[in-house]
Amino acid sequence: MRIYPTLELQNGRCVTLDKGRLDNALIWHVDPVETARGWAAAGAEWMHLTDFDSIEGRDTNAELVEEIIRTAEIPVQLAGGMRSREQVEHWIDKGAGRIVIGTLAARDPNLVKELAKFHPDQIVLAVDVWQGAVMSDGWRHQSAFTPEAFIDAFADTPFAAIVVTDIDSDMEDVEAQLGLISGLAKHSRTPVIASGIVRTADDISRLAYIPNIAGALVGRALFRKTIDLSDALEVARTAHEPVAQFQ
């Protein structure tokens, strides 16, 4: 299982949100560029980056996002405000390793299928779930899709992964999150990345034993220091190693 240390940007600052509320961000007083470099130095193979300003239709963080992509020394999985083919391909051209798409997939599924086929292993589907339905537009609008139906609509699409977020229980009810994410991972043919569930190393251990879970986004826990990135990477790496039997 792969750990994706996660940066979320708003107005050039690292933040985390409570259930996606953009007007109530918790600010972390760290340098985003240096933080990304530090994650690479700690052994991360990928990182995840969400631009909340882009979700709002602003390019406030564009230069900063470019700098992170250029200097992080690990591939960047980029999310936030990908509303058109031009935006997706712009960031692929800028060097993003993967692009995460949610709202555009709900609005124009055929375009997203084309993008996934044209950019193999670079397009990731976001499935953000609230009260049993897929949300779009920065978690503001409830679609007509159940998460299972949404995943089924893209069953033959060559996505790199599917990122699943349970908005209902966001960081509050890990058991409920594990139930939703394990069910969707079983339902999906595409590997699933769990979002918003890791608080401690124990959560990584539990995720690692769910079939078809390929990774986890870890952000708030790193900034709160409830988990160290090196420890998280080690737990994910060794989760399935055989244990010697006592004689």
Residues with a catalytic annotation lie at 8, 128
Per-residue CA distances from 143 to 52, 99, 188, 190 (Å): 20, 21, 19, 21
| Alpha carbon distance 145, 167 (integer Å) | 15
Cβ–Cβ under 8 Å, residues 125 and 190: yes
Our measurement of the distance from residue 3's CA atom to the centroid of its chain's CA atoms, rounded to an integer in Å, reads 10
Burial of 204 (0-12, 13-18, 19+ CB in 10 A): buried
- Three-state DSSP state, 17: coil
Q: Tell me which residue of 35, 36, 64 sits closest to 51, measured CA to CA.
A: 64
Structure tokens belonging to residue 129? 């779930």
- As a whole number of Å, the end-to-end CA separation of the chain is 30
Which residue is associated with the tokens 């537009």? 137
Per-residue CA distances from 149 to 45, 64, 104, 105, 234 (Å): 32, 36, 16, 13, 35
* Dihedral angle, C-alpha 44, 15, 49, 185, nearest 10 °: 80
